[in-house]
Every structure is written in structure tokens, then in C-alpha cells.
Copies of this chain bind each other. A is one copy, B any other.
Amino acid sequence: MSIHEECGVFGIFSKHPQNVAAVCYYGLYALQHRGQESCGMVVNDRGVFSSHKDLGLVSEVFSPEVLSDFPEGSMAVGHVRYGTTGGSSRKNCQPIEVNHQKGKMALAHNGNLSNAAELRNRLELSGAIFHTTSDTETIAYIVTRERLSAPSIEEAVSLAMHTLEGAYSLCLMSSAKMIAVRDPYGFRPLCYGVLEDGTYIVASESCAITTVGGTVIRDLLPGEILVFTKDGILSRTEHCKTRPNRLCVFEYIYFARPDSVIDGISVHSARIQAGQILARQHPVSADVVVGVPDSGLDAALGYSQQSGIPYGIGLIKNKYIGRTFISPGQTQRQNSVKIKLSPVEAVVRGKNVVLVDDSIVRGTTSERLIRLLRDAGAARIHLRISAPPFLNPCYYGTDIDSREHLIATSMDPDGIARSIGADSLGFFPLDQLSALAGGHGYCSACFDGQYPTPIPSDTRKDRFEARLPL
């Protein structure tokens, strides 16, 4: 629960002016799980950009007044960003908007560059100044510098891709064009679709396309550049197949919504399968399989299907807990997990329970959950995790806790089980991750340390700063 995705992007390209802000708003709602810190939207009305960005959820930032202030337009780009707090981070809200020598650009980005520090240094040496601390501004600089001599924005993007290293799924907009880009490794998902009236949609996940009533066409290929213009869609593939496919496997396990399909694989099905593999790898005799809402439910059902142990709805999530939940009172802190999750005694009392969750970071959340179930009368609790143990930082856009806080770096599964009070503990087997990804390449560096790109020698502190798990 303390693993964070960095972002989600959304774009819309229509041939006629319409309420693109409304469509974008719905799309961002559907991508909200990819980032809850801030969100933003830029609408393009015949070359005039109108924007609104702020800290907060989509429902908070886009009030009826704000939405009705947007003009009609033919394009919009939107973004959701994940979650630290603090007044000064408003400037990191996206999409980023810049004016450059050839015009305007709005840019929304999901991912992290692995050579960001080096690129930034080179830019600063040539006189660049930075308003934000995000990689997105670096990308904007490099694209606009290429644009000084490149004949078109898409050519500038393609040239820039020779310099950018790491994870970037982009949706950007000039006065007249919208461009979607997925990095050659394909670290982060990106797909596009179409509405009934021919309007094109670009989104980090397919669930956003279906939510706005569209039909998914396909995922972008790793390395592909899609250019949306009045004349249609142009696909540029010069960067495709220059690198191996390395989709983040944790998208299937945790980040993505179960109703999304990524690179041809249903997220729901991948999780069901993860549960089935877990059941085969770590069988146990028990009375009921309980998933930790929301992301552990599918894997729990898969475990139940494979093992024949009945599926139970044994934990209830308080659906009113929002970003704003606070813990008043020092002595009340331990209550906070009770506020968020409640056990159903009728399901667990006197039972041997298989508890399925998606990950263990520091172990504290798991420990509290197990205590909660024991207080509700569970006899034995067998914890099954639908991912391998976290052992390494991610340089491609996932905010994993610092290595010294990762419980799996200092204990083996039995030690962890004792530490958190579980009767047994089983992780998803590293060597079967390929089954989740349906055969295509994937990145599992956070589990196995096999980084597809060179990694920065001077790890910037701010990306790996410790974050408190729940």
C-alpha cells in the first residue's frame, strides 16, 4: 500500500469543437487510481490553450465552476499525479505548458527518465532554467530545442527520443496536433481508441477509453509515435524494436484497474492467474480465502478457484475514507487501519484464513491486518502475496520505499511471517512472472535488480526518500 504509481495521462482529439473538457474530466476520473496528489487539464481551442491544475482529486480540482469556465475545443490533454503533500508541490502539477520559439506545447507524462540528472545538467549548462523538479520539464526542453531546427513537432519528438532514456508515456499537444509517445522499452502502458463520432482518445489505461464511451483500438507499440492531425493518424515506428519490451509487471499486479487490458492481457485475468499460481506454489489447508480490498480481491478469487477453498468477503473497506482522512489523537493512531478496513466476524471467527494481498513493503500494514483478523476470531492466518518480495528501487516511475525500509531485504519469508504474526507466508514465485505478462517482455527490476537501462550512479535523494506506509 505504500507503493505509488507516478501518473496517468489522457488526451482527446476531435475534428470539430466540442466539450472536450467534460470528456477529459471523465477520463481522468477513470485514471484517478494512478495518481491522487494533483491533476490538471489543458484545452486547446483553435490554438488558444486554457488550463487548470491543482493539488487534489479530480472531484476536488474540477468543480462545476472550473469545468464550465473551459471553452469548447478540439483537443485536450489531462494528467493525474500521485501523492505526496506540501504547498510547494503545486508547481509540479501537470500537464506542463510552455511557450517556445515555434509556438506552444502542453505535455503530460507518465514515467521517469533514468538519465534525467545528466540531461538536466547539460541543459542548465546551456542556459536552461527550471521551474519544476519533474522530468517532464526536461522532456519539454529537449523536444523544444530539437524543434528549433526540426521541420515539425513530431520530428522534434523523434529526435528527442534519441536522447531520452527510461520510462515515458507521453501525450502532448501543439496548436494543431496531438502526439502520443511510448518509450522504446514500453515501461508504462499507453493505448488509444475512438468515440462513435470519430474523436480519438489516448489514455494510460483502456478503462479510461471505455469509461468515456469509446472503443479501444490498440496499445501503442513500444517506441511508437502517434500523430493526430486533421488529416488523420500517422504512426511513426522508427524507434520501435530498438529496445526489448519491458512493461512494468507491477502494472498487472497492483497499479492498473482490473477492467483494463494492457498489451493484450486483461489485468483482472492476470490477477486471477496470479492467485492460481500462488495456490499451486504455496498450498495450505484452510476454511476460507479472503482478499485485501481492493487490489487483493482478484488474486484471492484465483487462489480460491485453484485450491477449492471457499472464497469469503471477510474484509470491508470504508468507502468514505479519502485523501483527507486524519488521525486525531496520538493514542488513536493504531485505530487508523480499523477505520479503513473492518473484518467480518461471521466470515473469519474460528476459521483458518488464507489472506491474499498484493505486496509487503515495510510489513507494518500486514502486521496490523493480521492483528485485526485475530481480534475478530480468526484461528490461523496464512498470508499469500501476489508479487515477489521487493528488493530494489525503481528508476522508471514507481515510488518504492527506500531499501533499508523494505522488510524483504533483511528477512526471509519465514522471518517475515514471524515478524508480522502470520502462521505462514508465501510470495509469488519470481520465475513465473512471465505467466502474468502473457509471454511478452517485462521489467521486474524491483524484484530481481535486472535493470534494462543503465542506472544513475548518483541516485537523487528525492526520488527514493522514505515514505510512510499506512
| A contact set with B: CB distance below 8 Å | 19, 21-23, 25-26, 29-30, 32-33, 36, 50-52, 57-60, 63-69, 87-88, 91, 96-101, 121, 124-131, 133, 140-141, 144-145, 148, 207, 210-213, 257-259, 261, 266, 268-269, 294, 297-298, 301, 305, 310-313, 316, 318-322, 324-326, 328-329, 331-332, 334-335, 338-339, 342-347
Contacts and interface: CB of A to CB of B under 8 A. Distances in A.
Count chain B CB atoms within 10 A of each CB in A58, A65, A98, A268 and give the residue with the most: A268
Contact of A346 (B33, B96, B269, B325): B269
A332 to B, nearest CB: 5
Contacts of A99: 124, 129-131, 133
14 contacts: A29-B339, A30-B339, A32-B320, A57-B320, A59-B324, A67-B326, A99-B130, A101-B128, A207-B342, A210-B338, A257-B316, A258-B344, A268-B344, A268-B346
Nearest to A142: B127
A294 B310 contact: no
B30 A325 contact: no
Nearest to A125: B101
A37 to B, nearest CB: 13
A436 to B, nearest CB: 14
A261 B98 CA distance: 40
Nearest to A20: B329
Nearest to A98: B129
Given A313-B301, A319-B319, A211 B328 contact: no
A51 B301 contact: no
B326 A64 contact: yes
